[in-house]
Amino acid sequence: MTFDPSLSELADEAKTWRRTIHQYPELLFDLPKTAALVTEKLEAFGCDEVVGGIAKSGVVAVINGTRGAGKTIALRCDMDALPMLEQTNLPHASKVENMMHACGHDGHTAMLLAAAKHLSANRDFAGKVVLIFQPAEEGGGGSRVMIEEGVLERFGIEEVYGMHNQPGLDVGSFAIRSGPMMAGGDRFVVTINGKGGHAAYPHLCHDPVLAGAQMIVALQSIASRFTNPFDPVVVSVTYIEGGNASALNVIPAAIKIGGTIRTMLPETRKAVEARFREVVSTTAKLMQTDAELDWRPGYPVTVNDPEKTRVAAGVAQSFAGADRVDSDWPATMGSEDFSYMLEKRPGALIWLGNGDTADLHNPAYDFNDDAIIHGLRYWVTLVDQQLNGKTDV
Ligand code: NI
């Protein structure tokens, strides 16, 4: 299998873009420098349309093929960094204190820019490619906001593909799985309102502390007694607040508990939420208290479409070799906001090997530039196979 030598040159060029982006990390929806760099390059490459300002800092580019009508597929990357202090001591380390590209979104952005440059100059395909550069993957749900602002309909997107680097997976290797691949994550804070008073006369009070203790124990029955043991569920109570250590003879009027819930199936997520609400309200009632629930929905379960997973795995196998693509990679309890797009359109998220590096979100992490060429090949081969029916680049 031979590749256009320009792809290697392009990967080298993308490495310099990646390092520039790495030096100026930005957070959530507020990515003026990154979005400006992305927009400037996409315009210089001659994309047919470049639209900025979607979900504040999101950028979308369209590249039409020269073979006429066909499908519209979207390739998506994330651009935001994390509020962390970088500890790599690399020459291209972050120049912004307490901000760091610790999840490799700098690499994802550079690879998709490289794909845009290649595809703008090599348009021998039918239909069109939409490139989505999204903000706020790290907790802001930028993908959801772009969907709410109409990105899927506006650009006629029929299929969506994403790629994320994976430390511990060899450079040049890929991994994917069909169906649920990453967990859905929701958070909660419950305020338990009782009736405070003298701790020596508990019968005159409605004790929210004992109600909270019962609630925490009862919540653990969701994962152990209510759901199928083969269907992973995590319910973690991580926060308790109430009472006063200098007033130990006082039963407080209210306490708060909070935590997070992770599930792997959309239907389990719904069922667990319903059961959670039931446990909270009945335990509170049992203890003669009231519960006020602040439910904070997080990212949905990331579910890869089975057919598009085969497409994605086949694309990677066609240039990396079958032994470098693991199609049965274990699911994780982490969450990813590409899940919102996968809820609306068929598609797949694939892991790209980042080699033996520090883990994601670790202060010593750095995206591996040697992975760029492989990610770039994935994007251009995907377009070629999906919009041309070809099996080689
Ligand atoms: Ni990430």
Summarised one tens digit per residue, pLDDT across range 201-243 is: 999 999 999 999 999 999 999 999 999 999 999 999 999 999 9
Task: Measure 369 CA to ligand 1 centroid, in angstroms.
Answer: 16
| Closest C-alpha to 28, from 261, 296, 335, 337 | 337
CB 353 within 8 Å of CB 31:
no
Q: In angstroms, what is the span from residue 361 Cα to ligand 1's centroid?
A: 8
Share of the chain above pLDDT 70, in %: 98
> What is the average pLDDT score of the chain?
96
How remote is the CA of residue 248 from the centroid of ligand 1, in Å?
45
Count other Cβ atoms within 10 Å, centred on residue 99: 19
Q: Ligand 1 centre from 365 Cα, in Å?
A: 12
What is the distance in A from the centroid of ligand 1 to the CA of 111?
Answer: 14
Crossing angle, helix 208-221 and helix 266-286, to 10 degrees?
A: 150
How far apart are the CA of 81 and the centre of ligand 1, in A? 9
- The answer to whether residue 1 scores a pLDDT higher than 50 is no
The rounded Å distance from CA 351 to ligand 1 centre is: 11
Taking the centre of ligand 1 as the mean of its atom positions, its distance from the CA of residue 312, in whole angstroms, is: 19
Q: How confident is the model at residue 142 (pLDDT cuts 50, 70, 90)?
A: very high
84 alpha carbon to ligand 1 midpoint, in Å?
14
Distance between Cα 34 and ligand 1 center (Å): 16
Domain ranges of the chain: 6-182+301-388, 184-296
Ligand 1 centre distance from Cα of residue 105 (Å): 6
**From the CA of 381, how far away is ligand 1's center (Å)?**
23
Pick the closest to residue 124 from 387, 391, 314 (CA basis): 387
pLDDT digits (tens, 9 = 90+) for 268-292: 999 999 999 999 999 999 999 999 9
User: 164 C-alpha to center of ligand 1: Å?
Assistant: 7
Distance from the alpha carbon of residue 328 to the mean position of ligand 1, in angstroms:
20
- Please report the pLDDT score of residue 393 as a whole number: 41
Residues 38-62: tens digit of each pLDDT: 999 999 999 999 999 999 999 999 9
- Residue 274 CA, ligand 1 centroid: distance in Å: 29
Distance from the CA of 235 to the center of ligand 1, in angstroms? 23
Note whether 6-182+301-388 and 184-296 share their fold. no
pLDDT of residue 5: 72
Q: How far is the CA of 115 from the centre of ligand 1 (A)?
A: 19
Name the superfamily (CATH) of residues 6-182+301-388: Zn peptidases (3.40.630.10)
Phi, psi of 248 (to 5 degrees): -75, -5
Q: 165 CA distance to ligand 1 centroid (A)? A: 8
Alpha helices in 46-164 (DSSP H): 105-121, 142-148, 151-154
Q: What is the pLDDT of residues 80-131, one digit of tens each?
A: 999 999 999 999 999 999 999 999 999 999 999 999 999 999 999 999 999 9
Burial class from Cβ neighbours inside 10 Å (0-12, 13-18, 19+) for residue 237 reads middle
Rounded distance from Cα 79 to ligand 1 centre (Å):
9
List, as own/partner pairs, every contact residues 24-27 make where C-beta atoms lie below 8 angstroms and the sequence separation is at least 24, other chains included.
24/94, 24/95, 24/96, 25/81, 25/82, 25/94, 25/96, 25/99, 25/100, 25/101, 25/106, 26/57, 26/79, 26/80, 26/81, 26/96, 26/99, 27/80, 27/81, 27/82, 27/83, 27/99, 27/138
pLDDT at 391 exceeding the cut of 60: no
Distance 18 CA to ligand 1 centre (A): 15
Instruction: State the distance from the centre of ligand 1 to the C-alpha of 166, rounded, in angstroms.
Output: 9
- Cα–ligand 1 centroid distance for 103 (angstroms): 5
Distances (CA, A) of 211 to 4, 171, 218, 280: 67, 52, 10, 10
- CA 137 to ligand 1 center in whole angstroms: 7
CA of 109 to the centre of ligand 1 (A): 11
- Predicted local distance difference test score (pLDDT) of residue 390: 56
Q: In terms of CATH architecture, what is 184-296?
A: 2-Layer Sandwich (3.30)
pLDDT tens-digit readout, 289-323: 999 999 999 999 999 999 999 999 999 999 999 99
* Residue 299 · residue 340 · CB < 8 Å: yes
pTM above threshold 0.75: yes
113: left (phi over 0), alpha (psi -120 to 50) or beta: alpha
Rounded to the nearest angstrom, the distance between the alpha carbon of 252 and the centre of ligand 1 is 42
Tokens for 250? 């006082």
